[in-house]
Structure 1
Amino acid sequence: MNAITSLLSAFGLSTAAGLNAYLPLLTVGLLARYTNLIQLDGTYRLLTHPVVLLIIAVLALVDFIGDKIPAVDHVLHTAGLLIAPIAGAILFLSANSANGTVSPLLAAICGILVAGATHSARATARPLATVTTAGVANPVISFMEDASALALSVLAVILPVVAFLLVVVFAVLMFWLYRRLAARRAARRT
């Protein structure tokens, strides 16, 4: 990957980590281990180790199941406030490890901010869905988040430009939704 595609890939992977911290890590680890689609250098090759892949897979499975249960999903989202930004930083750093075009400190900060913002938006929206649907929609929403995280992870590696464009669309939608909700709150107050 050249410098630009590595950067676009990093943004896509970090955003996916905000939706599900484990699926992008697992995707990158498996793709780096079994294909030539992504090259991991240095410390990030650890993501390809079978034991690490197994641990991430078990965590992904626990998260996949737990996130479908209304009370458990809120606990997982609270833990995700720390886990998702860390995963985002690891993914941003690993995507740039082959060519090192971005300072590692800046890459880590970008990964933390992108994954953290994505996870915060997700964790903020979920209680609203829980209240309005009495938790019935949680499994469906969770599955859509997981599918989006997986698709975005694969796209970030295979088609980084498309993944980045999806990230931009997601950011615009979140901003629009936030503005709309803020306008509704302001209208209720008056």
Structure 2
Amino acid sequence: MFEILTGTGLSAAAGLNAFIPMLILGLLDRYTDLVQLPAEWSWLGNGWVLLIVGLLLVLEIAADKIPMVDSINDWIQTVIRPAAGGIVFGSGVSSETVTVSDPDAFFGGDAWIPVVMGIVIAFAVHLVKMMTRPVLNAATVGAAAPVVSTVEDTASLSLALAAVLLPALVIVVIAAVVLGLWLLYRRFRRPGVRRSSVPRSRF
């Protein structure tokens, strides 16, 4: 059960920001004992890979906070985020963590199954993000972009950490993110308040 929650949390985090969960897994594997990546995923902890992912993360964070640029970035990320979701789901459920001591118990030798699941979950989260951002930007003349982006980055970081350290929290965090995005979309998709129909004075 923890394997599923770990993979779900990591891939959902990738749907919001492709590089945060990858960086979290790599750093924890390289510098702590909290995560032990299996041999096939050990490249995530490579120093050069961490540097490249870190640079891509900086670019992603910057681009996602600029109106119009964020929408272009979302189209580009339509391929990258699901791919990252497959990577972190596959590596996450096959790693030993503080809560998962027997990672092969759930999926066994079918290594492709968690990768596909991660792709699907990340793609679904990405689609929600991609559909709500233009609505919020249009309703707030772009003012919402940096705020919403910061919330999404925070949610991605929270999901990634929860997935590794306390998978039971993944459900709570995902529910909070979905509810928050739905409320924002519902609030700003409505047309502006109509002006009062009180007739003007002729004088």
Regarding TM over 0.5, the answer is yes
- Per the TM alignment, residue 168 of structure 1 is displaced from its structure 2 partner at its CA by 4.5
Moved more, 84-93 or 38-47: 38-47
Query: Structure 1 residue 8 and structure 2 residue 5: aligned?
Result: yes
Alignment of 1:28-177 (within 5 A): 28-98=25-95, 99-100=103-104, 101-102=106-107, 103-171=110-178, 173=179
- Partners of 1:21 and 1:169 lie apart in 2 by 19
- Per the TM alignment, residue 112 of structure 1 is displaced from its structure 2 partner at its CA by 0.7
Tell me what 2:196 maps to.
none
- Per the TM alignment, residue 175 of structure 1 is displaced from its structure 2 partner at its CA by 10
- Partners of 2:93 and 2:54 lie apart in 1 by 23
- Partners of 1:175 and 1:26 lie apart in 2 by 24
- Per the TM alignment, residue 79 of structure 1 is displaced from its structure 2 partner at its CA by 1.1
Structure-2 change in CA distance of 1:176 and 1:19 (3 Å): closer
- Partners of 1:168 and 1:105 lie apart in 2 by 27
Aligned residues: 179
- Per the TM alignment, residue 29 of structure 1 is displaced from its structure 2 partner at its CA by 0.6
- Per the TM alignment, residue 170 of structure 1 is displaced from its structure 2 partner at its CA by 4.2
Query: Structure 1 residue 19 and structure 2 residue 26: aligned?
Result: no
- Partners of 2:74 and 2:181 lie apart in 1 by 21
- Per the TM alignment, residue 39 of structure 1 is displaced from its structure 2 partner at its CA by 1.6
Q: Deviations over 1:112-141 (max 9, x none)?
A: 111000010001000000100010110111
- Partners of 1:133 and 1:167 lie apart in 2 by 25
- Per the TM alignment, residue 163 of structure 1 is displaced from its structure 2 partner at its CA by 1.4
- Per the TM alignment, residue 89 of structure 1 is displaced from its structure 2 partner at its CA by 0.3
Tell me what 1:188 maps to.
none
Other structure's SS at 2:35 match: coil
Higher helix share: 1
For structure 1, which runs of at least 5 residues remain unmatched after alignment? 185-190
Moved more, 38-47 or 99-108: 99-108
Question: CA RMSD of the aligned region, Å?
Answer: 2.3
- Partners of 1:174 and 1:17 lie apart in 2 by 18
- Partners of 1:84 and 1:176 lie apart in 2 by 21
Other structure's SS at 2:168 match: helix
